[in-house]
Amino acid sequence: MNKRIFLFSLLLTGTITTSWSQSFKQTPNGIKTNIQSMNVEVQFFTPRIVRIIKSPAGAATKSASLSVIATPQKSTLTVAAQHNELTVRSSALQVKIDKNSGAIRFYEVKGNLLLQEKENGTRFAPGRDTGSYEVEQLFQLSAGEPVYGLGQHQQGVLNQRGRQVQLKQNNMQIAVPFFQSVKGYGVYWDNYSTTNFKDGIDGASFQSEVADAADYYFIYGGNADKVIAGYRQLTGQAPLFPRWTFGYWQSRERYKSQDETIGVVRKYRELGVPLDGIVQDWQYWSEDESYWNSTEFGNPRFPEPRKMVDSVHKMNAHIIISVWPSFGNKTKIYQAFKERNMLFGDFVTWPVNQNVEVYDAFNPHARDIYWSYMNKNIFSIGIDGWWLDSTEPDHLKEKESDEAHKTYLGTYRKVRNAYPLIHTGGVYKHQRDATDNKRVFILARSAFAGQQRFGTMMWSGDVQSGWNVFRKQISGGLNLSLSGLPYWNSDIGGFFSGRNYPKGVNDAAFHELYVRWLQFGAFCPMMRSHGTDTPREIYQFGAKGDWAYDAIKKFIDLRYRLLAYNYSHAWQVTARAGTMMRALVMDFAADEKVWNIDNEYMFGKSLLVCPVTDSMYTGRKNGETTVDLQTIKKQKLYLPAGTSWFDFWTGEKLQGGQEVEKETPVDVMPLYVKAGSIIPLSPLQQYAGEKKEDTLEVRIYEGADGNFTLYEDEGDNYNYEKGKYATIEFVWNNKAGTLTIKDRKGSFQGMRERKTFNVVLVNSKNGTGMEIPRQVDRVIHYTGKTAVNTIRP
C-alpha cells in the first residue's frame, strides 16, 4: 500500500490517523476533524450537495436549521488522505481539505475546480450575543466569474461580482444568503442574523453578526436549473397555486367600503375586461389605529363582510385580504398575546407613534393564536387568500434593545431575517391543516430561504413610481428567482406615485409609465396592479379608443391567452423545481454576452421579454405633459446566441447572437419566441375557468426540435398531490415537420376526454400577436392516445 495515500470506503465509524498528520473521524455521511483548534465537518446530503460546518473547538453544537428541512441521504463516499490534504469524493464531487488552514476546495468529479475557500478565510470573533460568534467565510471566485442571487435588492444589477450587499430584511429588500455561479454551483449560507456579502480584492465573503458556527451548503448542479433543484431539495418544494391566481389582479391602497370593492369587480365585468382577483387592503377593521389589524371587520363601511365575499364569488372572481403581524392595543388578539408575553414590546413598527406591537412569530403557540383569529374572523367567511403585509416586519427607529429582545428562538438579532419564513409558514401550515379544498395563496413583502414551500408569492415592496425604479424591478425579480424563490411581482405603476406624478391618472406621463409597467407585469408570475396616491383601475385611464386604455386591455387579454402556457410552467415549478421568470444566463450560459444583461429575461422556456423602461411618447414642456404617439420609437435588445428567434408580433425570424432594434409603439413591448417552441394559447376569457379549453390554438415556431407538456387539474384544491391531474406531451420534429402528441397521463374529476388542437406554423403572415390565425395548418382531434401528425409536408 502507498504509505502517502490511504483510501477507504466510508462504511464504518472510527478515528483514522495517517501520514496526513491529522486525526479525523468517519461519519455516515462524511468526516469530522480538527485543524488549528477549529472543528471541521464535511457532510454529504447527496452526491451533489455538501454541508460544511466549522466552529471553534469546544463551541456549542448548532441547532436545527430553520430553512433546511432535508436530511442527509446515504451516499457512496471514498476518502483519500494525503500529506497535505484530505479528499472526500462522491460520484459527482471532490471536497479537499487543506491540512494547515482547514480551507476547503470543491471540484467536480473530473477534477475541474469549482470554488475554493480562501486560506485562513474562516474567521471567528466574539459576537454580541452571549456565547455567540461573529463569523466570516471568504471564498476565492475565478476571475470574471459572475454570481447571482442574494435575494431581491433594488440596485439595478444582475451580476453580484464586485458588490457589497447587506442582507437584512426591510420593506424593499429581500435577504437570502444564497448565490449561484455561471459555473453551475450554488452556496447557501445558513444564518438568520444580519449578514453582509462582499466581493472584492480579498475574495467573496459572507459575514454574519450572530452564529455558533460557519455553516453552509455547496450545491453542484452543472446549470442554474439543477442548482435551484438542489436548493429546493434542501429547503422544500413550491406547492402549486390555484389556476385563477395566474389571471389579472386589481388592487388599491385602499378600497374604503365593501360597496367599492364589489363595484370594481362589477365594473370590470361590465367592460368585458378580464379579472380574477381583487385585493382588500387595510382598515377594514377600523379607522381607529388602536384597533389596528384586529382581524375583524369593525369598520361600519363593511357591515356585511360575508356578503361582500359572496358577491365577489358570484361574479366569478376571488378576493384576498391584508393581514399584518402587528396589532393595536385595543384588539382582542393583542390582549391574547399580551397575556402570554408574546409581543415585541417597544419595537417601533408601522403605524408609527401608535400603540401597535409585533407578535413573536417564532413562538409556535403564538402562531396558533394568530391563525385562530384569522380563521374565525376572516377565513370562515370565504376569503380566498392572504396578503401578509410587512412580513419583515416593519422595524422603524431601531434600537440596540430591539436587537437584544428575546424571542422564542433567541435574540431578535440572531433570527431576524427568518421572521417572514416563520410567519408565512404558520399561516400555510394551519390552513393546510384546516382544509385541502382551497390551495394556500400568500402574497408577502419579504421572504427567506425555504419560503417557497409555504405557498408564498413575494412582491418588491412600496416602490416609487418612476422609470429608473421600474427598470430596477427586473433585476430584483430575476435575482430572487436565481435565489430559488420562484414567485415574485411588483406593484404595477409603482406604489407611491404622488412624488413624481402628483396629477396621477390625470397625467399622460403617468399613463405611459403605467402602461409599460403593466406590460412587464403581464410577464411576471403574478400580474397585479396596486398603488397609493392615484387609483389604477383600467377605467381610470379613459375608455375604449383611448391609447392607454387600449394598451392596458391588450396586455390583460394576452395574459389570459397565455393561461395554459403559464399554468403548465407553474406545474414545472412544483414538479420539477422549475423557474418561470428566468435570467438569460439560465438558458444561455454559454453566451457570455448575456451574463450581465439585467433588462431582458425568459418567461418560461420559450418567451424572451424585454420591457420598455424609458419614456418614449410623453415629455414635459412649461410644466405640462406633452404627448406624441406618431413618431414610432425603437428599443435595442440582444437575442442570445445558439438559436433563432421569432418576433411574437410580426412573425419575423432572426438569428441569435446579435443586437436588434424593435419598433415599440405604446401598445407593443419587445417579445420574442425561441425557435422550436410549442405554445398553447387559451381562448380569451373573462376569468380563469370561464371556458373549458376543449379547443386550444397551438403555435409552433420552426427551426429546431421542441417539446411542451400541457398540464391540467381541478384548479384549486390539493388533489393534484394525490395524483389527480393530467399531462399531455407535445413533441415537434423540425426535420420531419411532425407534431407528436403522446398518450395523456393521468386524469382528474371533470377532465374532458377529447380536445381539439388547432395547430399553426408561425410565419410573418400567420399566427402573429393577438390576431386570430388566417390559416390553421392542422386540426387535430385528440382522444388521449399517441398520434404523429404531419404539419409541414
Where would I find the beta strands (DSSP E) of 274-332? 277-280, 318-323, 326-328
**Concatenated DSSP letters for 89-129?**
E-SSEEEEEETTT--EEEEETTS-EEEEEEEEEEEEEE-SS
**Concatenated DSSP letters for 740-770?**
EEPPPEE--TT--S-EEEEEEE-BTTBS-TT
Rounded distance between C-alpha atoms, residue 573 and residue 487, angstroms: 9
Torsion, Cα 107 109 111 112, to 10 degrees, reads -60
Pairing label, strands 318-323, 385-388: parallel
CA 346 → CA 367, 399, 417, 438, distances in Å?
Answer: 20, 10, 19, 37
CA 187 → CA 219, 413, 449, 670, 748, distances in Å?
Answer: 6, 23, 12, 34, 40
Active-site annotation, residues: 389, 392, 462
* Packing angle of the helix pair 508-521, 547-561 (nearest 10 deg): 10
Rounded distance between C-alpha atoms, residue 419 and residue 483, angstroms: 18
Residues in Cβ contact with 546 at an 8 Å cutoff, skipping those fewer than 6 apart: none
Residues in Cβ contact with 403 at an 8 Å cutoff, skipping those fewer than 6 apart: 128, 411, 412, 413, 416
Altogether, the residues listed in the chain come to a count of 793
Beta-carbon count within 10 A of 543 CB: 10
Rounded distance between C-alpha atoms, residue 81 and residue 19, angstroms: 8
Rounded distance between C-alpha atoms, residue 615 and residue 471, angstroms: 12
Residues in Cβ contact with 43 at an 8 Å cutoff, skipping those fewer than 6 apart: 27, 29, 30, 50, 51, 52, 53, 72
Q: What is the DSSP letter of 183?
A: T
